[in-house]
A and B are shown apart, each in its own frame.
Chain A
Amino acid sequence: MIQSPAEIRRRQRIKRIISLISIITVLVIWYLATAQFELITPLKFPSPVSILETLGRVQSTIVEHSAVTLLRVLASFGIGPLFGMVVGLFMSRFQIVFAILAPIIEIIRPIPPIALIPFFILWFGIGNFGQILLAGLGTFMVLVVSTIEAVRNVPRIYVQAARSLGASDAYIYRTVIIPAIVPELIAAWRVALALAFALTIAAELMGAQSGLGFMIMVARRSLNTDVILLGIIIIGVEAKLMDTLLNTLTRRITTWTDRN
């Protein structure tokens, strides 16, 4: 059915209003169940009011911990995926590189990086380096595998067309393979971003002196559920903001796909 632009806009507005009502309902139920009727004890799940109070009370420490976590995520996310993508591209392009690296990567890849945390603490202590390296390693693996897979998925017909138009192998790699895998790579980058958050928080929970994970861990010891929940909410907000930012930045380089 063909809809006029005005009709489409109207429908989008209605959808947005429904979504807004949905989220407000959840907040209201939360408020009623905790602060109003006290169906849940505050110790197990604090009310939204006390969360806001806590935020006001510990503002400066929270900002600090949030910043530390975000910086760690950014550092690992800046190194791991980029490095993984380059390695993946070299492995796809040169069979010798593939033969050398594939077995090593296949051994490391199935191990959940979280299992390495005790070793990392032993080797690198509880400073930034170990935490960044952990998330960097995890995101590196995501991109290596996704890049190789994406290159394999490039339709053969594009390569054949390029070859019969007189393009050399190196030229085809640069002008066909790499642009063709961009959409898949962007998806992999987004997965890597979520993983970078997960691994950074995990590392902070298990051994750190700062960061949201550390803050949650300390609060747990003193049964300070307000701070725990607040920490969780901030992690969610940070992850969502980063994902939105990544999505906005990458949208420009894929104007050619149907995604937009």
Chain B
Amino acid sequence: MSIQSKIHLQQVSKVFDGHRGSTVVALQDTNLEIAENEIVCIVGPSGCGKSTVLNLIAGFLLPTSGRVLVNDKPVAGPGADRAVVFQQDSVFPWLTVAQNLEYGPRARGIPLSERKARVDELLDLVGLTEYRTLFPRQLSGGMKKRVDLARAYANDPDILLMDEPFGALDVFTKERMQVELLNEWQNMQRTIVFVTHDIEEAIFIGDRVVVMTPRPARIASQIVVPFGRAIDSRVKTSQRFQELRQHIMDSLGQVESNGDPQ
């Protein structure tokens, strides 16, 4: 069925060692294919393994069994082709806004003139040009998140991995950031894997929503978002949007009430 997928999880399991020799299955026999330039949102309650999926693709974790392929090659560790945006604030507080954006290109040895041009471009993209010399502590939460996103874009990564990136923001900032992200995607066209526990956010941003459940931690269902990518948060109040939201809620509730199938 595969037509050259960008990201491919094949029968992936991840088991962590717990206390006194016990083990925790964070992910079980999971298969997932993500196409180039697709935006896939992974939703589910905490403990369902959604962050584990992201960390496996990022290369922060290696699978216990199965294979994680990116561009048909197994992931061996983190790399600049897969940028990660975390929920927590990961902007380097000891660097200015501009220096943060420059970090990736600089680490990879991109020449100065090219770096400067890239930083200017990114500052413009996220609207932080006049804040370039400030330190992160002088910025609001939303602005810091913009720095975080822009820094991730700086290396021109193939894939953007986002682990509840807007989870710590207030509702208004969150909505604006969602719209900005989609706008930026229009210009860049990247593959995005977006983990969230917010179902509305998942439907709004994703082309496809992957629903995961805990015990066993695996994918329960996948829903293709039928109304394309509307970059207007008013779509959230439409009837079709809310029906889809209810559908996902139901599928989550169903699996949970089923309990342990084993």
The interface of chain A, by Cβ under 8 A from chain B, is 155, 157-158, 160-168, 171, 175-176, 179-180, 182, 255-258
Contacts and interface: CB of A to CB of B under 8 A. Distances in A.
Given A164-B58, A165-B103, A256 B137 contact: yes
A168 B95 CA distance: 18
Contact of A166 (B60, B86, B108): B108
A164 B93 contact: no
Contacts, number: 70
Dominant SS among interface residues on chain A: helix
Contacts of B93: 256-257
Given A165-B151, A166-B155, A168-B107, A157 B78 contact: no
Interface residues of B, number: 29
A175 B161 CA distance: 23
Nearest to A180: B94
B2 to A, nearest CB: 26
B80 interface: yes
A255 B134 CA distance: 11
Contacts of B161: 164
A160 B152 CA distance: 12
Contacts of B58: 160, 164
Which 5 A-B pairs have CB atoms at the shortest separation, nearest pair first? A166-B80, A165-B104, A167-B107, A179-B94, A163-B78
Contact of B104 (A157, A160, A166): A166
A255 B82 CA distance: 32
B158 to A, nearest CB: 12
Contacts of B154: 165
Interface in B99-136: 103-104, 107-108, 135-136
B80 A175 contact: no
15 contacts: A160-B86, A161-B90, A162-B107, A164-B83, A165-B83, A165-B104, A165-B151, A166-B80, A166-B104, A167-B107, A180-B94, A255-B135, A256-B137, A257-B93, A258-B137
B94 A165 contact: no
Contact of A160 (B78, B79, B137, B155): B78
B77 to A, nearest CB: 8
B155 A165 contact: yes
B16 to A, nearest CB: 16
A7 to B, nearest CB: 22
B85 to A, nearest CB: 9
Q: Which of A157, A164, A255 has the most CB of B within 10 A?
A: A164
Contacts of A165: 80, 83, 103-104, 107, 151-152, 154-155
